[in-house]
Structure 1
Amino acid sequence: MDVKELGFALAHIGINQADAAEAKRTVDTLCALFGFESRETDGSYFVGKDEFEVMKMPFLGRLGHVAIYTDDAVKAKAYLEEKGVFCDESTASYGPDGRLMAIYFKEEIAGFAFHLKQR
């Protein structure tokens, strides 16, 4: 399989924070410095056009996480498994149609958890 067929691209960088107050300070700083907008979810804030996800509590990855878009999460998972990178099935999330939408790798890369995200 040609890797280009999978459409890999950076979706966002997740930044772990100790608590909601620390997350809010980080979001406010990013918005003030770069003119970004933010939106709040239950567990995090997305900043900019979702380039950053600032977590309200520690989450996966020692340093945070990196989300990678793909055009086909199932094929991308199979491709990565051929490369020796395996996913943690317990982290898989599925859309209403049963399609795989996101899944984390079992191992961190450089202190970051990585996950695939269906485009």
Structure 2
Amino acid sequence: MDAKGENPVEKFGMYIAHIGVNAEADEDTMRIVDEFSGLLGLEHMTVAPVSEFAGDFVEVMKPGHGSGERGHIGFHVNDVEAAAKWFDEHGSKIDWDHCAKNPDGSLFLVYFEKEIAGFAIHLTAQK
């Protein structure tokens, strides 16, 4: 909460969208996805060329594409731009140089400048 008593989780409908794991080698990517998929009964999905997903819960980043020392945590928010501006104005700086936009120019994903416990943190519109 901030000084005004605003809670960003409530204000922006935040919840954990997914956890990102950085694979160290190409052969690790599929093994890690398969392990999470098997453990949790999740579908293996390819969403982007730089990662593979176990359902919506775990994103395994291919070598050289992962953010964060250990990986990343993605938080869904109902309005990425408003949430990013709010956090930035409240002292949790956003890395505006590394954000992703939708085709219409609206923000889809932004990272915070600071990692926590080796994890990069991002806000996303992804569910």
TM-score, normalised with respect to structure 2: 0.85
2:91 alignment counterpart: 84
Q: Which runs of 5+ in 2 are unaligned?
A: none
> What is the identity, as a one-letter code, of the residue corresponding to 1:79?
W
Letter of the structure 2 residue corresponding to residue 81 of structure 1 = D
Instruction: Find the residue that maps to 1:30 and give its secondary structure.
Output: helix
Distance in 2 between the 1:74 and 1:28 partners? 34
Measured in 2, the distance between the counterparts of 1:34 and 1:98 equals 35
Question: Matches of residues 1-119 of structure 1 in structure 2 within 5 Å?
Answer: 2=6, 3=8, 4-40=10-46, 41-48=48-55, 50-58=56-64, 59-119=66-126
The one-character-per-residue Cα deviations of 1:11-62 (angstroms, maximum 9, x if unpaired) are: 00000011221011111111222221111231111112x1110111141101
Taking structure 1 as the reference length, the TM-score comes to: 0.90
Q: Which has the higher helix share?
A: 1
The runs of 5 or more residues in structure 1 that have no matched partner are none
Tell me how many residue pairs correspond in the alignment.
Answer: 118
Moved over 6 A (4+): none
Q: What percentage of aligned pairs have identical amino acids?
A: 36
